[in-house]
Amino acid sequence: MPRWLTTFLVLLILFAFVLPDPARAGNATGNAIDSMVVFFRSAGNELSDSVALSDGSGDLSGEASRGSASTRSPNGGVASGDGTYRTAPVDLAAVQAAVAAPPAPSDDGPVDIGGEASLRHSPPVQLHLPTIGVSTGFVSLGLGPDGTLQVPDTAHQAGWYRDAPAPGARGTAVVTAHVDWQQEKGVFHDLGLMRPGDEVTVDRADGAAAVFRVTRIAEYAKSQFPTEEVYGAADDAELRLITCSGPFDHATHSYADNLVVYARMMGVRHG
């Protein structure tokens, strides 16, 4: 029973049985006043504790909610090439023409989507880009001190941004790889040859293979990289493949542009 309620009951007993007796009225009045003070202090403390607990729990739940719902987007484009392998810059005119081209038909037959628009979270393990002959594993990437996305330390693997959704899960999954690296041809060296309608498959740790179709290809100057458009949230399961493109600036040791392949999940293969 709360302390304030106990105190209130004691006051009722005092007024009902003690005050009617004149001999004890003086002492009882003093005791009653003291009890009233205790009562209001007790009630005030409990009310204060209740408000403090409510405010505290609200703050914690709000912070947890914000933390679980938000993801940190990389700052700008991805610098993923060092100019040490002879490359031909992506033909921007060809890229723009590819954006307007109709999607190529699939020869793989229907894909089992299991009635689901997206999958649960599961890390990617293998990336397949049959159009350009790529089949490679993944390394996990975070953000560097300047807020830009880290790059793989090898030319032979793609990097998955681990603070974004996994490929196949609802939202925008981000995958990057080098166009060239340490005198070697990078995994995404020929990414600019992909076209809308091309298939991208990501094998996941849970055994499912998320199947994507390329929807468009775009090239952006790094100084004007549309961060929100590329990394922003999506209502369905989407994928971004990103690498460097354009001319190589030997003064800055960096390519001038970024190439981004946009893709949307079309189904799931199992086994």
137-148 pLDDT per residue, tens: 999 999 988 888
Region of 182 (left: φ > 0; alpha: ψ -120 to 50; beta: rest) is: left
How many residues can be counted in the chain? 271
Q: Return the pLDDT at 12.
A: 63
β-bridge partners, 241: 175, 261
Q: How does DSSP classify residue 191? A: G
pLDDT tens for each residue of 112-126: 544 456 899 999 999
Q: Which two tokens stand for residue 215?
A: 């929807």
Q: Which residue has the higher pLDDT, 130 or 104?
A: 130
Q: Are 151 and 79 in contact (CB under 8 A)?
A: yes
The CA dihedral of 158, 159, 162, 166, to the nearest 10 degrees, is: -20
Give the 3-state secondary structure of residue 139: strand
Beta bridge partners of 172: 238
| pLDDT attached to residue 78 | 73
Confidence (pLDDT) at 61: 28
3-state secondary structure of 79: coil
pTM of the shown model: 0.67
Residue 66 DSSP label: H
For residues 240 and 42, give the distance between their C-alpha atoms in angstroms, rounded to a whole number. 60
Assess contact for 142 and 176: CB atoms under 8 A.
no
Tell me what pLDDT residue 98 has.
56
Q: Is the pLDDT of residue 254 over 80?
A: yes
